[in-house]
């Protein structure tokens, strides 16, 4: 079912109409309870006009990662400076496992970034040593 159709159905019920037959919902129906009517209207308004997503700060995202047992910077974007620093360290012989510790990311994320920079092959990412 499409979301628009579901909203139409909920709005019909909230307005006291059976969405299938178009008839008025009986006065003694639980659908005519003020709490249910308010709940239905609240839901349809939320679907039509969702609240804006709040953006977490860098510190909040890092704390969330740590609480999940992930490295501090897991999933965070790479800046140009970090990419350059990673490439320099890798080219100077630093192994991916050590780079992962240094950048506080997963080894896979390190290898993937190195692949994106053309410094390791797809096979090396798929089969790390």
What is the residue-level pLDDT of the chain in tens, covering all 129 positions? 898 999 999 999 999 999 999 999 998 998 889 999 999 999 999 999 988 888 899 999 999 999 999 999 999 999 999 999 999 999 999 999 999 999 999 999 999 999 999 999 998 888 877
Instruction: Give Cβ neighbours of residue 16 (< 8 Å, ≥ 6 apart).
Output: 24, 25, 31, 32, 37
- DSSP annotation of 113: H
Torsion of CA 100, 103, 108, 114, to 10 degrees: -110
- Residue whose entry in the numeric block shows the structure tokens 């974007």: 77
Instruction: Give Cβ neighbours of residue 85 (< 8 Å, ≥ 6 apart).
Output: none
- DSSP annotation of 49: S
Give the start-to-end residue ranges of the domains of the chain.
Answer: 3-48, 58-126
């Amino acid at each position: 079912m499409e979301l628009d159709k579901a909203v139409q159905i909920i709005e019909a019920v909230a307005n006291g109409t059976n969405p299938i037959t178009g008839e008025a919902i009986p006065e003694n129906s639980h659908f005519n309870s003020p709490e249910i009517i308010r709940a239905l209207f609240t839901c349809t308004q939320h679907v039509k006009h969702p609240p804006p997503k709040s953006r977490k700060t860098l510190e909040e995202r890092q704390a969330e990662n740590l609480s999940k047992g992930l490295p501090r910077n897991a999933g965070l974007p790479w800046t140009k400076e970090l990419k350059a620093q990673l490439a320099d360290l890798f080219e100077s012989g630093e192994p991916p496992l050590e780079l992962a510790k240094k950048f506080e990311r997963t080894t896979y994320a390190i290898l993937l970034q190195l692949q994106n920079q053309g410094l390791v092959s797809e096979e090396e990412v798929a089969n790390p040593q």
